[in-house]
Structure 1
């Protein structure tokens, strides 16, 4: 273990998870709204987006699924989904507006996933990948349910930023930085970097066959 698990750290992770679940669920609703789904469809996609990445992480790490252990996460996801559904009916919302809460969820879930991996003794590489899984997979499931190409596979540095940020977080922790400070610094950096990548359309090269 490269950091001490303190009550303050556990409390911070709890509240960060609450925020991440809420904003990720909101991104799911906004994405589903572009497909004109009804309330039930929107609610299912919102909940799946908010809880999906963390669920996969916990199953892979062999620990109790976080929203089984504390149903408040499920409740927050549901309430966030319904609230955004209602708000969108009365205020004009861009079809790309889901990208902002998506970026915030990516940032927060990535650092939470990395720390969760380290807390159960996962090696650095695996812990960093758990950051990617936690940050990205909710959105991947969301996009597949909406029958669109997942933005993690064809967007502006989505999963890349999650993985790079997760690695840097581990380096900071190994260097002795306070876990709460490191989490805030890296989470904020991932969020801002993702927004800048969207604004300036910064992407990785796409696969293509050589022309004959």
Structure 2
């Protein structure tokens, strides 16, 4: 009888002090770590920029803006790793913090440039791409650790995607995404679900499933942004 080695492999990964979002699929010797790190860095920068822009109207000081930008960039992944009980990703590679700080500083200095309608609209789409990449990466990390399939990876994907923004909004005294009718988390959930189903039932197509999940999550978010879609009233809580 063939022995199932999936869980021991996942436990071994839990103890390895590296690999922020490993994209190595078990049944195919394809190493996508370098590409994934670049994507994670791009998402970190995007979240830092949009994190500072989100509090521009609050007239916060320089250090507060930088702090909120960094929190938006790494907050979701930090909460995820604490729940998964693994080393926090940026503690293993401080490049994430460095890029987040640098992006936040540049955004603060060039606030008038980024606040232009065209640039702000572009950054909203970049934020959607960052949420898709972070969400897929977070769900994959939870999947590889064998964390409560399938709800666990879905939750970790959503937390990674929106956790930093939620913490930033609470600290800045802004209305959080969870308290609005904006369609933000659902595209991430759908994208993560596509990836997880591919990994579970067709692991040899893992890289394709990961790419498909990212594209689907971002595409749905882009449609929501372009058409300014909101949740219908019957799908939200309402006062009697």
1:147-190, CA deviations, whole angstroms, 9 ceiling, x for partnerless residues? 11112431432111211221111012222353333222221221
- Give, in angstroms, the shift of residue 142 of structure 1: 1.7
Question: What does residue 161 of structure 1 align with?
Answer: 187
Give the number of aligned pairs: 210
Return the TM-score normalized by structure 2.
Answer: 0.79
Which stretches in structure 1 are left out of the alignment for 5+ residues?
none
Change (3 A) 1:154 1:107: same
Runs of 4+ in structure 1 off by over 6 angstroms are none
Question: What does residue 113 of structure 1 align with?
Answer: 138
CA contact (8 A) 1:136 1:152 kept: no
1:192 correspondence with 2:195? no
Question: What does residue 34 of structure 2 align with?
Answer: 11
Within-5 A mapping of 1:24-39: 24-39=47-62
- Give, in angstroms, the shift of residue 32 of structure 1: 1.5
Within-5 A mapping of 1:48-67: 48-67=71-90
Change (3 A) 1:171 1:34: same
Q: Which moved more, 1:12-21 or 1:179-188?
A: 179-188
CA contact (8 A) 2:78 2:89 kept: yes
1:132 correspondence with 2:132? no
CA contact (8 A) 1:12 1:180 kept: no
Which stretches in structure 2 are left out of the alignment for 5+ residues?
1-5, 8-24
Q: Which moved more, 1:53-62 or 1:104-113?
A: 104-113
CA contact (8 A) 2:50 2:124 kept: yes
1:79 correspondence with 2:91? no
Q: Counterparts of 1:161 and 1:93 in 2: how far apart (Å)? A: 27
Return the TM-score normalized by structure 1.
Answer: 0.89
1:8-35, CA deviations, whole angstroms, 9 ceiling, x for partnerless residues? 2333332221111110111101112121
- Give, in angstroms, the shift of residue 92 of structure 1: 4.7
Q: Counterparts of 1:91 and 1:118 in 2: how far apart (Å)? A: 37
Question: What does residue 208 of structure 1 align with?
Answer: 238
SS in 1 for 2:55: helix
